[in-house]
């Protein structure tokens, strides 16, 4: 491998890592602001103008808090839990195509860290690993509430991963590839051959199932049972304090960012935007606008996550399981059948 | 038996129809309600910078008044303390000495006058009881503090500022 490529990828990784962390940081701020606006309040406004330094203040607070490790906890695992949670949250962004190629001089830079041909499977694998962070943390805390939260998280994630995987199968039947880069390329522009190119318009039901499962996978309301305050004190992170707690909370927001990016890439055309090649812009400009378009979609989805959180009450546990196993999985299978029929008819 | 008012309504719980069971229309409805609130003016205010306007007869912090020549009106008659349902007011009377005519209006005055703001219920009965128009609840809200003893306000906080200052 040539050195320039290593440097290029290293810079790209650093930028994407930074962007995911900053987005997650500002998601905590946005969450509080959105909650406030939806409830006719003002929200955090003390730190800086409109409170924009609130995430920094929160971070400083988290770092300076006393670190409490319960004597009855299993030492090493207690530390591994949050580390694993944040690690798996961060590595998911590696396969997402953030844009097309940038040409600088004679060098063509691909705005994707790596284009592995099983991109979606990689993301599924990483997301499944994420639940281990929660499980290990909940187990190591040696606290009944933490354990209950961890068990809930594990069973919830396993149940919803099935429906999520099935909804993806229907999509893959249309795309014929697992590579996220190719899936994004197939959705080029907005309109082609008499129909929308974005996968949402071919797979509306699949998208619905996918987004519901994404809510469950990221442990967001209305599926936030692993940490539901009213029943389990704090759920799996009851015993955590200081930056370990911060990591857990942070991992949730990074997961939200990644799943928004995945949804945008799979169903809403990724970096594609309408008329991208009819405006007569230079290739580099189109790429940059594409990145902006992708982030606009991601931000919309993050907003949607928050919007739903402050609208819908939490599911009861049996309702959650009913929805997962008795509704979403049959629906996802029906979606596969329907997709097969339609794909055969409208070849 | 016939009911007296005929206002009774018997509600039947019907089984949910398909769309109700699908939740999604209800969720969309809920989302549309919350997004309407997103664009509404906030109902709260940024308190220390902005303050709500009090009504004219709002009963806030007490102040001991002075007359038009700047003399304290209070004569320590004790009617306010007597009328106080929360027993928040205590006072010790003092006799005016020669040469203090500019400070106190009558021959008797309150040497010590204390109101416990934690006991006070801001009913305004002291104001009504006062025959000398010496106490009014025309101030702001009571500021917060750390210690209970600091909520016992003496004359230093209660008496109005002198006229010539």
Tens-place pLDDT, residues A74-97: 878 888 888 888 888 888 888 888
d(CA A15, CA A21): 10
* Closest chain A residue to the Cα of B22, Cα to Cα: A327
CB contacts of B25 in chain A (<8 Å) are none
Extract the tokens encoding B155. 């004359």
Q: What is the pLDDT of residue B164?
A: 65
Answer yes or no: are the C-beta atoms of A216 and A160 closer than 8 Å. Answer: yes
Q: Which contacts of A210-213 are long-range, i.e. CB under 8 A and separated by 24 or more positions?
A: A210/A164, A210/A167, A210/A168, A210/A263, A210/A266, A210/A267, A211/A263, A212/A160, A212/A163, A212/A323, A212/A328, A213/A160, A213/A161, A213/A163, A213/A164, A213/A167, A213/A328
Report the residue of A31, A34, A36, A38 to disrupt the B interface, i.e. the one with the largest count of B CBs within 10 Å.
A38
Greater confidence (A196 vs B128) lies with B128
Question: Measured between CB atoms, does A2 come within 8 Å of chain B?
Answer: no
Q: Which residues of A touch B27 (CB under 8 A)?
A: 308, 311-312
| Distance (Å, whole) CA B100 – CA B93 | 15
What is this structure's pTM? 0.80
CA-closest candidate to residue A175, choices A204, A198, A208, A209: A198
Tens of pLDDT, residue by residue over A279-298, are 777 777 888 888 888 889 99
What's the mean pLDDT in A61-76?
84
Q: Which of A268, A271, A266 is closest to A286 using CA atoms?
A: A271
Identify all chain A residues contacting B44, using CB atoms and an 8 Å cutoff.
40-42
B104 Cα to chain A: minimum distance (Å)? 47
Reply yes or no on whether the pLDDT at B106 is more than 80: yes
Q: How many A-B residue pairs are in contact by the CB < 8 A criterion?
A: 36
Tokens of B35: 């997004």
% chain B with pLDDT above 90: 21
A312 touches chain B (CB under 8 A): yes
Task: Return d(Cα A49, Cα A42) in angstroms, integer.
Answer: 13
Domains of chain B: 63-158 (3.30.70.3270)
Task: Band the pLDDT of B119: cuts 50, 70, 90.
Answer: very high
Q: Which residues contact B47 (CB under 8 A, 6 or more apart)?
A: none
Residue showing tokens 């993806």 = A168
CB contact under 8 A, B27 and A307: no
Task: Answer for the pair A221, A312: CB distance below 8 angstroms, yes or no.
Answer: yes
Distance CA A87, CA A130 (A): 8
For B41, the closest chain A residue by CA position comes to: A40
């Amino acid at each position: 491998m040539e050195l320039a490529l290593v440097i290029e990828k290293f810079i790209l990784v650093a930028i994407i890592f930074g962007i995911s962390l900053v987005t997650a940081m500002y998601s905590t701020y946005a969450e509080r602001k959105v909650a406030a606006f939806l409830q006719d309040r003002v929200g955090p406004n003390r730190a800086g103008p409109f409170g924009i330094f609130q995430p920094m203040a929160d971070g400083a607070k988290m770092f300076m808090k006393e670190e409490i490790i319960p004597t009855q906890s299993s030492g090493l695992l207690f530390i591994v839990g949050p580390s694993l949670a944040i690690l798996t949250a961060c590595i998911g962004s590696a396969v997402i195509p953030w844009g097309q190629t940038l040409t600088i001089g004679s060098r063509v830079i691909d705005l994707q860290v790596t284009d592995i041909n099983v991109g979606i499977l990689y993301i599924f694998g990483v997301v499944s690993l994420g639940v281990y962070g929660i499980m290990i943390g909940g187990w190591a805390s040696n606290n009944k509430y933490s354990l209950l939260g961890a068990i809930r998280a594990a069973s919830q994630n396993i149940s919803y991963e099935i429906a999520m995987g099935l909804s993806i199968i229907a999509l893959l039947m249309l795309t014929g590839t697992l590579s996220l880069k190719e899936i994004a390329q197939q959705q080029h522009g907005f309109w082609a051959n008499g129909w929308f190119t974005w996968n949402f318009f071919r797979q509306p039901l699949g998208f619905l199932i996918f987004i519901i499962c994404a809510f469950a996978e990221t442990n967001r309301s209305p599926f936030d049972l692993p940490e539901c305050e009213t029943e389990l004190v704090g759920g799996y992170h009851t015993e955590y304090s200081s930056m370990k707690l911060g990591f857990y909370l942070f991992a949730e927001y990074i997961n939200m960012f990644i799943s928004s990016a995945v949804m945008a890439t799979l169903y809403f055309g990724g970096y594609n935007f309408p008329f991208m090649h009819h405006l007569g812009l230079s290739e580099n400009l189109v790429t940059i606008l594409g990145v902006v378009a992708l982030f606009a979609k991601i931000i919309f989805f993050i907003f949607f996550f928050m919007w739903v959180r402050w609208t819908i009450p939490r599911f009861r546990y049996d309702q959650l399981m009913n929805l997962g196993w008795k509704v979403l999985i049959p629906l996802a299978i029906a979606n596969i059948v329907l997709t097969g029929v339609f794909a055969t008819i409208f070849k | 038996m016939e009911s007296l008012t005929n206002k009774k309504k018997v509600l039947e719980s019907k089984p949910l129809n398909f769309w109700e069971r699908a939740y999604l229309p209800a969720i969309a409805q809920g989302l549309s309600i919350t997004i309407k609130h997103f664009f509404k003016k906030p109902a709260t205010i940024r308190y220390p910078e902005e303050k709500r306007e009090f009504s004219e007869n709002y009963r806030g912090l007490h102040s001991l008044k002075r007359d038009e020549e700047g003399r304290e009106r209070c004569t320590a008659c004790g009617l306010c303390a007597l009328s106080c349902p929360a027993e928040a007011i205590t006072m010790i009377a003092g006799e005016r000495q020669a040469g203090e005519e500019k400070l106190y209006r009558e021959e008797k005055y309150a040497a010590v006058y204390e109101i416990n703001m934690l006991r006070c219920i801001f009913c305004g009965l002291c104001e009504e009881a006062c025959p000398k128009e010496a106490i009014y609840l025309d101030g702001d809200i009571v500021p917060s503090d750390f210690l209970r003893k600091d909520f016992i306000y003496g004359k230093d906080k209660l008496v109005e500022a002198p006229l010539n200052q």
